[in-house]
Chains A and B, each alone.
Chain A
């Protein structure tokens, strides 16, 4: 009798993914629904687990670099940068000024590239189909620049421990100037399409809210944390690679909802272009690699003409180098948030352990908090807004 008096809540379990187009990869979210409302959301990850951290343990240090840009394949340069900086910190070496400027310039363009894909796919998820075509049109310019630099469009592997893989291409300046001119023009298009668009605003304002305290407790970083109004940007808080010399602002949100994160990413693109312009204007002349015999590869011209350089080149490629025992952590501000590399060395020529602090993985763990109590359609908006790349989540 008493059992009958309490009506049982009828809920339904639905799998969103792993092959759902709006999950940005192979993410499965198990949703418990009561009508249209999400009662409980459980993300299941691991479909793309490739064991990059384990593989790194059996590779020489410089051979790990190509694996890093396969994690967050939308922002290859920032992954390379994080790893190279971590190893440089472990070795205790410094790089020439020109390298720092070139790295900052290319990494900021990576941020623009990643945010362009984000704004395109996020708008596509919400229903603004044409946005993606515009965003990818501008992204192509940056990809062209990467191709000119590294010979690769996406998996660039352009940064090396102690410098760059090769000299910057001769038309580097013109290519960047073209980017700096065209992308702001494109961005006015995006703003006209989305910012005041009634449908877009209805789908995003007040959706996927997270308070500042919760955001910190969930370990959110990047635009997701700044959307809740916390001023934490690794570039400002713990500058690396010469970021303290550049003048830029860190946009902050107020409400911590999907719309604020959208506004922040758009403004970050503008600031990134501003930094890229400063880096291009201030770039000094100099070598593209540090001169640390036995650790950093000698310049290619020297290898072809000098005996010692040839020997060092051969030794580094075959044996690698041996950093001192110890462990370092280097964080950088990747487009998705704080990307960190923890490298522990046991004194041999291979990393004893390489740990990646993946921003997407930790941001994704807050998804249940963002969507519970909201509608099914909002789950799509929330997944899109935290900007995950499953290659990085699963590694």
Chain B
């Protein structure tokens, strides 16, 4: 399956792949963010690979690490092929000034809540998400808790007290 995937990327998306990584039997492809949607769509449609399951999406913040040079945020798509029992990862790097990437909600329903969670905790915007709201924290929390520069102790978590958008009152 590893060879098949590498071949798939070599034949179809040679420009999209920045580098591949193989650590502890896990294959990861670092992609350019603008190709993400296309690649996932093609992976899903490929009859041989049959990557039908988006297992998880998670995000990292590389602030203060040498890795930050490639982009501060990393979004990791955990894809699984039920046919081959094979798991691999697609990773993209986003810069601090524009943490935005295409949403995968139109391909997988799983992406809906997972992307909301990342938006909530890491502050990455998913373009085209139908309902991008905070999911785990309160609606009026300032900042994004999983970022490395989020104040941990001695400072109170900040709330905006709904200054910008008062909550809708249901009558």
Contacts and interface: CB of A to CB of B under 8 A. Distances in A.
Contact of A328 (B23, B56, B60, B138): B23
B78 A394 contact: no
A355 B134 CA distance: 18
Interface string B128-157: 000000111110000001100010100000
B103 interface: no
A148 interface: no
Nearest to B108: A217
A329 B21 CA distance: 14
Contact of B146 (A13, A53, A58, A338): A53
Contacts of B136: 45-46, 49, 394-395
B60 A329 contact: no
Contacts of A214: 109
Interface string A85-96: 000011010000
Interface size of B as a range:
35 or more
A365 B135 CA distance: 11
A365 B24 contact: no
B41 interface: no
B112 interface: yes
Nearest to B54: A219
A23 interface: no
Interface in B29-74: 52-56, 58, 60-61, 65, 67
A369 interface: yes
A232 B137 contact: no
| Chain B interface, >50% SS class | mixed
Contacts of A53: 121, 146
Interface string A310-340: 0000000000000000111101000000101
A92 B24 contact: yes
Contacts of A92: 24
A329 B82 contact: no
Contacts of A6: none
Contacts of B58: 342, 353, 355, 357
Contacts of A51: 145
A58 B117 CA distance: 21
Contact of B24 (A89, A230, A342): A89
B55 A326 contact: no
A369 B170 contact: no
10 contacts: A45-B136, A51-B145, A53-B146, A216-B53, A218-B110, A219-B109, A219-B110, A232-B82, A340-B56, A357-B78
Interface of A: 13, 45-46, 49, 51, 53-54, 58, 89-90, 92, 214, 216-219, 230, 232, 237-238, 326-329, 331, 338, 340, 342, 344, 346, 352-353, 355, 357, 361-362, 365-366, 369, 394-395
Interface of B: 23-24, 26, 52-56, 58, 60-61, 65, 67, 76, 78, 82, 85, 87, 89, 108-110, 112-114, 117, 121, 134-138, 145-146, 150, 152, 170
